Amino acid sequence: MKNPTMKGPVFFAVSVFFFASLLVGCGDEILNSDEYELDQVKVTSDMALPLASGDLSISDLLTQPEYVRVYPDGLVYLLYDDTQELSDIRDHVTFPDKEFSQQLSPSLPVQTMAARTTEREIRSQNVPFDFNFNPRLIKEIKFKQGTELVLDLNFSPYSPATDYLELEVTLPDFKKDGVSLVKRVNASEQVVISLQGYIAILNDNKFNATVKLLERPHPTATQISQSTNINFKAGFRSIDYEYVKGYLGEITPSNTVRERTISFTPFGSSLNDAEVAFGDPRLSFTVTSDYGLPVKIFLSPLEAISNDGQEMPILFLQGGDVNGSTVNIKSAPFLGGSAATQANVSNEKEIFDFVPESIKYGISYGNIENPFDPLLPLNFLADTSKLRINVRAELPLYAKANNIIISDTMDIDLGDAEETEIESASMRIKATNQLPLDAVLQIYLANDHGIITDSLFAEGKTSVIKPSTVTATGELKEAGISDTNIPLSDTKLKKLFDAQQLIIKAVMNTAKEANGSQNYVQFKSDYKLNINIGLQAKLKLEVEL
């Protein structure tokens, strides 16, 4: 480390030399040069080598700054907001393919069909259909891409005259952009229709089709020589939906547990051996549902885990929608809406005083008991419907603690100074501390690989930083002022000059009352610790004359 203050002692020595030369040059009037011969001048001077300085705030002590927030009054707090999306329930509300076969009556009688130049309607009739999705009673469904309607027509026995016959099929309750589905089919081939975007309004799974039997133009008369059956089929394949409304019945999802672990290490390892108590921590689990049907979830496991693997169960406040670790989720009020169910934690203070490294929870669905009740609102769900479970932890830094351990490493270079020129030295530490934390330090000497060669203070950690004093509510009253000078032996000094790194380790405790008791203290964003560490040395210099 280059130190411009090194020029001071040298300048002083040169000045002494200049003054002595001046005295000699003045002749016998002042000094008799025969009696005095000055070969060299020996002087001592103080030197200050700064090693480290800077400001430290509470935010600098936190390892996850992205979670640091500040209240309007300046109090620092940590905010974790983790959301996991679940959409499994929709996988349990599916619909099988359905095919409807209908023989239209009456059959075609024996007849001669005269030549025609225009189309004519032979007859029209309504044909009822029932999806029979029991126990589900569907009222409305919007079909998704991939859903198909297949229409098929055949006549038995076949005769050439039936080549001029076809059906016009209308599904008045299947509409797309407000227009009912209308399609024609003849005996020559099936007709496949994409139902994507169609909305069907059903009466508890039932709907009607209007079927018209049409005779197309033909140039010559043709004969139906025997009674002929009209066989009509309508098949729904790969039924999928954007949304569905109605009574969806009880649902029994799989009991697969989906686990999630949230890392919770804002303090790094500094609290691993600490005794901590937080004044006002908050922890809650909120489940938001887009589903218009009741849902029950189980949260297991549900625990906080310390850095050494110990576990502490997370307990909910009981009552209302919460029973043990079971949460009954509220239904969304309407399609496209959502409803939130909050489970508050009853032992949140114990959880945070435990200083968890992570929070672990698993989710599984319980049996969705959904008995039919015509007086209750319709069930509904969409292909975008989800459950979202949010874990929110809000931790104001209003606390008391013992044995907080922090450390830092800095590079040093004393190559411009020679320890042989130093008569005595000491480590000087000056601090102005607004933080309600005292500090006991040990400074380790290390090589450029971080391998420790010695410690600076032979008698162990040294108390060098005083905490601020606080009010009864834990706010800053007066900064702590420290000015400590620690003598260094020749051996320690030599090792200091050989070192390339200083490793500073501090054990910190929150402020105490005069009687030794600790109250909760506040850590605000503008509180600072200003610290200066330097080497104070007395030099011995010789100047040849």
Q: What is the mean pLDDT of each run of 10 residues along the chain (545 residues)?
A: 36 31 36 41 63 80 87 94 88 93 93 95 95 94 97 95 96 97 95 98 96 96 95 97 94 83 84 86 95 91 92 94 93 94 95 92 85 85 93 94 84 66 83 90 87 80 83 91 87 84 86 82 92 82 52
Q: Measure Cα distances from 115 to 5, 124, 212, 290 in Å.
A: 120, 22, 20, 61
Is cis: bond before 172, omega within 30 of 0?
no
The pTM of the full predicted model, rounded to 2 decimals, is 0.76
How high is the pLDDT of residue 460? Answer: 66
b/e code 38-68 from CB counts within 10 Å (16+ = b) = eeebeeebebebebbeeebbbeebbeeeebb
pLDDT of res. 165: 96
pLDDT of residue 168: 97
Report the pLDDT value the prediction gives residue 227, as an integer from 0 to 100: 95
Half-sphere exposure of 514 (CA within 13 A, CB side): 1
- Sequence-distant (6+) residues with CB within 8 A of 283 are 314, 345, 348, 351, 352, 391, 392, 393, 394
pLDDT of residue 376: 82
DSSP letters for 297-350 = EEEEEEEEE-TTS-EEE--BPPBTTEETTEEEEPPPSSTT--EEEEEEBTTHHH
List the domain boundaries for the chain: 4-63+401-544, 76-90+252-396, 95-247
**Four-point Cα dihedral 266, 271, 276, 277, nearest 10:** 10
pLDDT the model gives residue 152: 97
Q: Which overall architecture, per CATH, does domain 76-90+252-396 show?
A: Sandwich (2.60)
The half-sphere exposure of 458 on its side-chain side, counting CA atoms within 13 A, is 9
